[in-house]
Amino acid sequence: MNTQASPVKVYVRIRPTANFAHEFIECLPDLQTLSVRWRKESKKRTSNIHLNSWLFKLNGVLHNVSQEEVYDCVAQSVVLGAFEGYNGTIMCFGQTGAGKTYTMTGAAEAYKQRGIIPRVLQQVFHEVEHQTDQSFSVHLSFLEIYNETLVDLLSALKRGKGVNNWALGVVEEPGGGVSIKGLTLHLVHNEEEALNLLFESEGQVQREAMYINKSLSFLEQAILALADSRREHVPFRQSKLTHALKDSLEQQRTEPNLKEAGSSPPPKADAFEDFKADRGSEINRILKENKTVLLERRSRLETLTDVINATKRDMDSIASLLHQYRGQSQGQFVSAEGEHVMEEAELSLVMQLRELKNVYRKTYEEYNSTKAEVSYCQHLVNQCRVRLLTEFESWYNESFLLPGQVLSLLEGGPIRPGHVPVDKALTLEDDEQKTFRHPPDNQQETSSAISFYNAYNRSLQRKVKK
């Protein structure tokens, strides 16, 4: 978001049609100018035809473009600006059937045809995963403004079905900024959770507004006032729509990553060391003890392996010597019964081989027992590591990220704040340093598609149950 440029950008998307009115609408080669001509017959003389034309200079004209191209052109910079601390809003206008819903949400059953909102959710979590020097907490709300009435589309998830929306209102915060009082906040940890809420909200959307002209008129007045440097007052409070969008329209910058106390959360690596020295000291002590035992058992296993291999080599060597000796001395000494009598050297080899076999058998038994101990110790270490990391994530979110309102909602519930899945915790090579791993770019789309279709299938299941 370039603060030097206009905070408001305007794009026109033309819906594809087989009978495009080329004689009335022309997209100029610069892809930023739209020419509209209107043929009007004179009232005095029907044979006279007046042709009026207008040129509209825009930030972009989107004609015969894909959903991906629309997003890259219109929305991508807004999301990136949000990560820099700028409020952002994308508004879609058009008459009924113009394609507003398709542009914003897309086709729910086709991943490639998804709209701006699902793509925003994908980019948000992509940025969260890759900006490892920052800590993020993502909350989602869906608000509908219908005929100057505020409707929370996700209120049923927290307040139960059949319960009316609490009184929602646009309020000015004491420290500056605008918020919707009573609007539910939903903590989401990944793209799929966010998409589930999106599909849930789509089932709650009311009939298409037929009385939006008044709000749009006020919105136009507010934008014109913002563009006029001579105007000191901007009429934001004329409607709930303009009031709710006040921060975004003014292009106000917010400080990112703030907790309620107003300070930025510490880096996770530093906080992890503090956690291990204080609140997580006991589980960290147990983890260190288990790792010490594991290292000892592994060292013993390596020693036993060396002994077994050396013993086996000695056994093979003596067996070879014994075979050679017996071949050379065959028939030299025979007892009265006709049996072979061993010489002193041969007897010594036989005794050595017997002793080595005895050592090999006992060592191999200890090897199997130690191997089982190593496996068990490794299990304990992994278990302690997962618990340490899980407790740390909860502590970190409780201490630095989650607002008090969210913590009060989670209190007493089965889910701990900041609880992370075991498979995510195990991606850390060692508890001493947290290593972030990201899928290659060619896996990003695959992961997003899986999340998209999982959320879509859940929405279908909900419809069937209803």
277 annotated as a binding-site residue: no
Phi and psi at residue 57, to the nearest 5°: -90, 120
Angstrom distance (rounded) from CA 117 to CA 123: 10
328 annotated as a binding-site residue: no
Q: How many CB atoms lie within 10 A of CB 331?
A: 6
99 annotated as a binding-site residue: yes
Contacts of 419 (CB under 8 A, 6+ apart): 390, 393, 394
81 annotated as a binding-site residue: no
94 annotated as a binding-site residue: yes
Q: What are the DSSP calls for 325-392, one per residue?
A: HHHHSTTSSB-TTS-B---HHHHHHHHHHHHHHHHHHHHHHHHHHHHHHHHHHHHHHHHHHHHHHHHH
327 annotated as a binding-site residue: no
101 annotated as a binding-site residue: yes
222 annotated as a binding-site residue: no
The C-alpha angle with vertex 352 and arms to 347 and 356, in degrees rounded to 5, equals 150
Tokens at 169, concatenated: 């209102």
Helix (H) or strand (E) holding 172: strand 169-172
Angstrom distance (rounded) from CA 221 to CA 230: 14
User: 246 and 236 in contact (C-beta within 8 Å)?
Assistant: yes
Which residues share a beta bridge with 11?
Answer: 60
Q: Helix count (H) and strand count (E) of the chain?
A: 15, 11
Distance of CA 21 to the CA centre of its chain: 43
User: 34 and 61 in contact (C-beta within 8 Å)?
Assistant: yes
Known binding positions for ATP: 94-101
- Extract the annotated binding site: 94-101
